[in-house]
Amino acid sequence: MKQYSTSDIRNVVLIGSSKSGKTTLSEAMLFEGKVVDRRGTVEGKNTVSDNTEFEQTNQKSVNATPLYAEVLNKKFNIIDAPGSDDFCGGAISAFKVVESAVLVVNAQQGAEVGTQIFSRYADQYGVPLVVAVNQLDTEKANWDRVIESLKEIYGPKIVQIQFPVDPGVNFKSFVDVLTMKYYVYKDANGTVEEQEIPAQYADEAATLHQELMEKAAEGDDELMMKYFDTESLELDEIRKGLSSGLAKREIMPVFCLSAKNDIGVRRLMEFLINVAPSPLGKVEKNVAGGDVICNENGPLSLFIFKTDVEPHLGDVSYFKVMSGTLTKGADLVNPETGNGERLSAIYVAAGAKKEEVQKISAGDIGCAMKLKAGKEDTTLAVAGQEAIGHMKFPKFKYTCAVRALDKNDDAKVGEAMNKIASQDPTLNVEYSNELRQTILSGMGEQHINYAKWRLKNEFKLDADFFAPKIPYRETITKMAVARYRHKKQSGGAGQFGEVAMIIYPYVEGEPQPKTFKIEGKETVLPVKSTEVQELPWGGKLEFNNCVVGGAIDLGFMPAILKGINQKMTEGPLTGSYARDIRVYIYDGKMHPVDSKEIAFIIAGRQAFSQAFKEAGPKILEPIYNVDITTPSEYQGACMSDITGRRGMYLGQDMDGTFAVLHAKIPLAELYRYSTVLSSLTAGSATFEMSFAEYQPVPADVQKKLLEEYEAQKQEDED
């Protein structure tokens, strides 16, 4: 392959709903670019992009696959992204390295759930959209309904570049109102004949051409002036105006396709060459806020946006050259770690096919094998450059616990899950010391099931995937007093320590009480010293030394605090972390020989435990902010579901035609929520969740949790 200059490159991601035909379109684009001489099919399990066993068996994309094609002396870098929101990470990674996206729409369904979800992602990342209405050769194809649904969602942004003639099983031609030509396809291999527009379509073509000129004029002031004067624009002028409007994301051009029969695919690629932005001059921000300008003569830097493990190759790192020109054998460094990396060989990739090249220019996409610093979201650059700004992904929506079916495989399962997560930035695995569980987090149940499939089929390991424990907290609601004496004599040196303490609820900003009732008497405690600890799990512990008269030496106070901290990590109600407690050590006793640090650790721990149980202990549960984006027709169902989950509805906003519902819901009620929400809304709603606060659980819930904890303790003892 020849080396392409930055201006001759087009980077595009194919996005849209599942079953819209993105993979079939990518196959046709590869055919047009002479990468393949025979197009594969999803049904035939022989496409270039869906090349894993899982994808072929399930006939759905789960990975974003980088591809390339060469057309009209231009290079296309194409990323075929999955159509399910559960696997949105691939599309979002692609948005970092492309300049435009083709939104593929099923002509039988119109604008679907995935259409809107992925177009919203494109909006968030500022990527211009071109719409390709695919499967116009199917029996139920309905062009008018598709255009109506697109205009309903995207309004005046929708600009028809083409309209089909006889959509349905006989679809073989369309009118292009940009070139004002009639394209008739002779076979299923893209063989096309350009003709004059038939008379019966001339009026519609003229009307749409006029609208196209108006849209083009709106994108450029000079063109606007000429259009006012002449009411006409030349083809190149229209392209210039459309290019400006597309770059500013003010228009969404619409094309006719049958990717299966290679109808309209080359015209779409020609439009992308003539109108879609190249990477030349594109500005990325580095982590310091500076500009990284895509230019072949700039300082060399590349950004790794995807990593994978491929059969017979091992670790493969896919990157975009953000600036400069990459040469085989280049020595680069990771600006954030200082670690060096030599790229002894560099490749361009079309799925599993890799072709070694000598150079890759700024704006182009390539890959390298077995890099030490090759993890996704990593910059490699010449010395002195800053790292490229990092990718941002949605927060995890689905969390489960994982354990090996065979306890002897625990370490193997953990290692395998870490390898799987390392290839997917929207999948995370970690061991929770608090919950004593391995926790796997992803974007939905399909996402988790894919990880489970890989564990079983690639690593030959079996594991349970189940609801994780909830990180409850324990606290108190009133004052309590306790005294505990630890005394141990076993022939040698003894142990003795006695601690008297008061515990009291800690409320941020609330002053300390002035008096305490001890043994029926109001008592003023002289606070000699106070230590406030910010607890790692949230909340505070305030430790007050009120001992007078030398009842306990000052040197034993850290031991008492240590004992209290030990008990704070395992509350008496459910074994959860305790928080927001004030402790007053007001009395105690020592022995001149037997008092030791360990004795006061034990005495402090036991006194705290006794007092805690008498201080109106309460279980707190984590509450999450949940923002649900749903079509208005499902709003009532979503609100009812919020109530059924002990949630609190907070109000709503509108995002275009979608309602955004705001609520607070206990984490205990959110397991498998993504699956339930999808079922409630026919897959059309999405949500985000973030931690809000801890709140006391209702009395009936606390009773149930206490019973479950006692039963579990009994089971563990048996």
Residue ranges of domains in the chain = 6-216+249-274, 283-381, 398-469, 474-616, 619-700
The dihedral formed by the CA atoms of 709, 714, 716 and 718, expressed in degrees to the nearest 10? -170
Task: Examine domains 283-381 and 398-469 and report if their fold is the same.
Answer: no
- Count Cβ atoms within 10 A of the Cβ of residue 200 and give its class: 0-12 exposed, 13-18 middle, 19 or more buried: exposed
At 718 the pLDDT is 63
Q: Of 72, 66, 136, 124, which Cα lies nearest the Cα of 97?
A: 66
> Strand, helix or coil at 717?
helix
At 684 the pLDDT is 84
Contact 75, 10 (CB under 8 A): yes
Four-residue CA torsion sign, 425, 431, 435, 439: positive
At 352 the pLDDT is 85
At 494 the pLDDT is 87
CATH number of 283-381: 2.40.30.10
Contact 570, 452 (CB under 8 A): no
Given this structure, which CATH class describes domain 619-700? alpha beta
- Give the residues of the chain that fall short of pLDDT 70: 491-492, 718
Beta pairing class for 577-578 and 473-475: parallel
CATH number of 398-469: 3.30.70.870
At 440 the pLDDT is 97
d(CA 29, CA 273): 13
Cα separation values, 599 from 382, 586, 589, 602, 605, Å:
60, 17, 11, 5, 10
Homologous superfamily, domain 6-216+249-274: P-loop containing nucleotide triphosphate hydrolases (3.40.50.300)
DSSP percent split of the chain into helix, strand, coil, nearest 5? 30, 35, 35
At 317 the pLDDT is 95
Beta pairing class for 9-16 and 74-80: parallel
Given this structure, which CATH class describes domain 474-616? alpha beta
Phi, psi (5° rounding) for residue 441? -125, 140
Q: At what angle do helices 265-274 and 22-32 cross, to 10 degrees?
A: 80
**Looking only at Cα atoms, what is the longest distance across the chain?**
113
Q: Of 320, 317, 281, 280, which Cα lies nearest the Cα of 300?
A: 320
Integer Rg of the chain from CA: 32
